[in-house]
Amino acid sequence: MLFNSFAFLLAFLPLALGLHWLAERFAPQWRLPVLAALSFAFYGYWDWRFVPLLAASILVNWLIAELFQKTRSGGLITLAIVLNLVVLALFKYFNFFADLAGMIPGLPAPKLDLALPLGISFFTFHHVMYLTDLRRGQAPRYDLLRYALYIAFFPQVLAGPLVRWREIMHQFEERPYQRPDAAERIARGLMLLTAGLAKKVLIGDPLAEYANPVFAAAAAGKVVTMAEAWQATLAFTFQIYFDFSGYTDMALGLALLFGIVLPQNFEIPYRALSIQDFWRRWHMTLSRFLRDYLYIALGGSKHGLPRQVWALFATMALGGLWHGAGLTYVAWGVAHGLALIVALFWRRAGWPMPKPLGWLLTFVFVALCWVLFRATSFEAAMAIYKGLFGLAPVGQGFKWRALLPAAAFAMLGPTAWALVHRLPPARWLAILAGILFVLVLLKIGDDSNYEFIYFQF
């Protein structure tokens, strides 16, 4: 049940809002159980066989947290984190490492035919954040219902944002429709949902038509011309932004409709003036997770330059692997790690970087790295790179009509979150949002929808 589907927009969402309103209005003690039931129903729509996995993941982690409260044994938390990572590795990485092992002559490489549960990377990281903070003495105890809702809350269970317990748990105790700004929140939630849908359906999906055929041709071993390579690279650069930031806007808007404020995840990343600035703006909740729970754990900047260089490299390499079980994802992460290391030495040397040059270098580097992220193999990526760097025929027919508005929206901003909070309440604005929503529905109806890119992670 995609957010950009009739099943969600015209069936599940109205029913969910109605049930939530009834509970909040007439039986407030049932509000959280209703939200939890709706979240499990939403998750089960994809494949009911994965619901027991999600439920067991929640129950086991909660029970270990309960036992930790009584024993204060840090080993229990370590055990829980290891178990979470083992389950993630089993479903997502077993065959990847089996393939690597198969490269060694004579070494058996068994395979497992397991479907990847949607959202497993995201709810695993939510467990890790809470358990780590619990061991640090920063997180309090929560009952099973609230912990289950923290992990499974349907707007963010599949592709984030990665929400820290302290950002959401206190909101479960509120009476959202009794707040003085309840109507304003609902209106802004609807506008965010509409804006996110428009970004995904009206901007992101058409760009896929520019990128997919070229990357498919590269995967098939065909020659990719310079025009095709730049078209596909720029198209995917903007497609992944509108696809993922559009999803995030929808998630934030949906959460507001149910009385929950989720953290923002994007801050006009293609306006970044350095690679560090890019990662402060792109997938911000993942960047925070990698910084606070991996980079700092590996030494961070507190133990000398060599340790910091290693921490940057390892963090980004593992961040690349988190995105997908493939060497191209690892290479993408390694490339970003090396860029961050170069930027670190540049800063320590005190060399200047003019802002226009910093922006250009950052954007070009990020776009070139997206080729590794999108390509199905190194051979396919190399075919694209040959075109980009003029080692293939020039070609013709560069498609630009969808690229120009996408570039303008992505680089000039503002973010949808900032926009809906700046605009004053007005009847004309409601009418405009309604028209936009209808246009999105008409576009959805032509069967040209694509799944969200980050659902595969």
pLDDT at 457: 64
Maximum Cα–Cα distance across the chain: 71
Q: Which helix (H) or strand (E) holds 94?
A: helix 94-102
CB under 8 Å to 222, separation ≥6 — which residues? Answer: 383
- Torsion on CA atoms 320, 323, 327, 333, rounded to nearest 10: -20
Q: Which of 431, 174, 334, 64 is nearest to 342 (CA)?
A: 334
* Preceding peptide of 14 cis, ω within 30°: no
Q: Using alpha carbons, list the distances in angstroms from residue 182 to 132, 177, 422.
A: 34, 5, 17
What is the C-alpha to C-alpha distance for residues 454 and 114, in angstroms, rounded to an integer?
19
What is the C-alpha to C-alpha distance for residues 3 and 9, in angstroms, rounded to an integer?
7
What is the C-alpha to C-alpha distance for residues 323 and 247, in angstroms, rounded to an integer?
17
Token reading at 259: 């009385």
- Determine contact, residues 298/311, Cβ cutoff 8 Å: yes
Q: Using alpha carbons, list the distances in angstroms from residue 274 to 298, 340, 356.
A: 23, 9, 10
Collapsing DSSP states into helix, strand and coil, what is residue 258? coil
Please, what is the Cα angle at 163 between 158 and 167, to 5 degrees? 145
* Preceding peptide of 161 cis, ω within 30°: yes
Q: How many CA atoms lie within 13 A of 141 on its CB side?
A: 10
Per-residue confidence in pLDDT tens, the chain, 457 aa = 788 889 999 999 999 999 999 999 999 999 999 999 999 999 999 888 899 999 999 999 999 999 999 999 999 999 999 999 999 999 999 888 888 877 777 777 777 878 888 889 999 999 999 999 999 999 999 999 999 999 999 999 988 899 999 999 999 999 999 999 999 999 999 999 999 999 999 999 999 999 999 999 999 999 999 999 999 999 999 999 999 999 999 999 999 999 999 999 999 999 999 999 999 999 999 999 999 999 999 998 888 999 999 999 999 999 999 998 899 999 999 999 999 999 999 999 999 999 999 999 999 999 999 999 999 999 999 999 999 999 999 998 898 888 999 999 999 978 999 999 898 888 888 899 899 999 888 888 765 667 787 776 6
For residue range 140-158, list pLDDT tens digits in order. Answer: 999 999 999 999 999 999 8
Collapsing DSSP states into helix, strand and coil, what is residue 390? coil
- Count other C-beta atoms under 10 Å from residue 81's C-beta: 19
CB under 8 Å to 162, separation ≥6 — which residues? Answer: 122, 125, 126, 129, 285, 286, 288, 289
Tell me the pTM: 0.93
For residue range 95-114, list pLDDT tens digits in order. Answer: 888 888 777 777 777 778 78
What is the C-alpha to C-alpha distance for residues 300 and 89, in angstroms, rounded to an integer?
25
Q: What b/e string do you get for 291-315 counting C-beta neighbours within 10 Å, with b at 16 or more?
A: bebbbeebbbeeeeeeebbebbbbb
Tell me the catalytic residues.
Answer: 323
Q: Which helix (H) or strand (E) holds 406?
A: helix 403-412
What is the C-alpha to C-alpha distance for residues 77 and 12, in angstroms, rounded to an integer?
37
What is the C-alpha to C-alpha distance for residues 216 and 378, in angstroms, rounded to an integer?
13
- Determine contact, residues 126/93, Cβ cutoff 8 Å: no
